[in-house]
Amino acid sequence: MKNSEFYTLPDVPPLLNSNLGKKLRNKLDNKTKPIGALGRLEDLALRIGLILGNENPELIKPQMLVCAADHGLTAEGISAYPSNVTWQMVENFLAGGAAVSVLSKQNNISLNVVDCGVRHDFEPREGLLIQKVSKGTKNALQGPAMSNEECQQAINNGMSIVSELEGNAVLIGEMGIGNSSAAAMLLARLTDNDISSCTGSGTGMFGSNLKKKTSILEKVLEKHKDAKNPLAALAAFGGYEIATMAGAVIQSASEGKVIVVDGFIASSAVLVASRIRSKVLDYCIFSHRSDEQGHSLMLDAMNAEPLLDLKLRLGEGSGAALAWPLLMSACTILREMASFEAAGVSRDDESK
């Protein structure tokens, strides 16, 4: 794959409104509290205000995107679960029984489940977006997981989905047996880390099984040693759900939406997107530090500081949904918390 010029991708502007930043910081500093007393919640409020371009930001109609696809590399035994679990979990999402389903409902987040490339035919229904490129990627040990055209289609699908969503916030999550392997290989290739430090247990691979998984990923990396730029690496390793999320991230940032990133696999999509459009990171809020080995390396590569560290490694968007109330609270602080003047409260320096 040549480079990002092969694609028609929107530009992503940097957040460069220094005047708004000063107004937001001054507003936070004048709330009825010691300066900085709300810690990282204040930084979060400032970031959301800058993304939405508003001193009184309000998060409207948040949309959860759970992108699902299968991976041909599972034929090599890299997962503790069979690939059928992918489509079965999609049904669970739609039935309201999964963690992301109940957490999205609790927080009034619209749940959109996207079939990006699941090896199963779903009956169309509300809440399901069928954007299937193919029934799973190819086995990356034998050749590229995706063709250039398939990779481009998946990215374009992510962009198209976001362009039609309501609201000003997108939360991204995923489902795909085998996708922790794709994420680990993307991390290793794009950050020059050893694959052993990037590979974790995923669905439950430990001991000799983890060693086998790592060995297979080493072989895949060697087979595709020339796939060095982000789009080439994405096509080589997969998957359709990661490519779709990457497109969704680029489109969301270009539209000035708040992007809430889930765990390891969702972060790998942001890593790819950020190597194509670096400014997408200005629009991303990383919800949590996953317990999956490699996520800390991935976060460090993007200079990202996540909001939570709950030892989660479920995926689905569950961590993004759990962090959502913090974003709501940050906006509420900006909009509703009284200033010293409005409340008639004296500052320390006024009483001396």
Q: Which residues are catalytic?
A: 316
Neighbouring residues of 148: CB distance < 8 A, sequence distance ≥ 6: 1, 6, 235
Contact 39, 333 (CB under 8 A): no
Cα dist from 259 to 250, 254, 327, whole Å? 10, 11, 11
Contact 172, 317 (CB under 8 A): yes
Map tokens 């079939």 to a residue. 115
Q: For residue 132, give both structure tokens.
A: 């299937």
**How buried is residue 250: exposed, middle or buried, by Cβ count under 10 Å (0-12/13-18/19+)?**
buried
Contact 245, 174 (CB under 8 A): yes
- Of 301, 294, 78, nearest in space to 198 by CA: 294
Q: Containing H/E element for 174? A: strand 169-175
Map tokens 């990457």 to a residue. 246
Q: Containing H/E element for 69? A: strand 63-69
Give the pairing of strands 169-175 and 128-130. unpaired
CB-side neighbour CA atoms (13 Å) of 301: 24
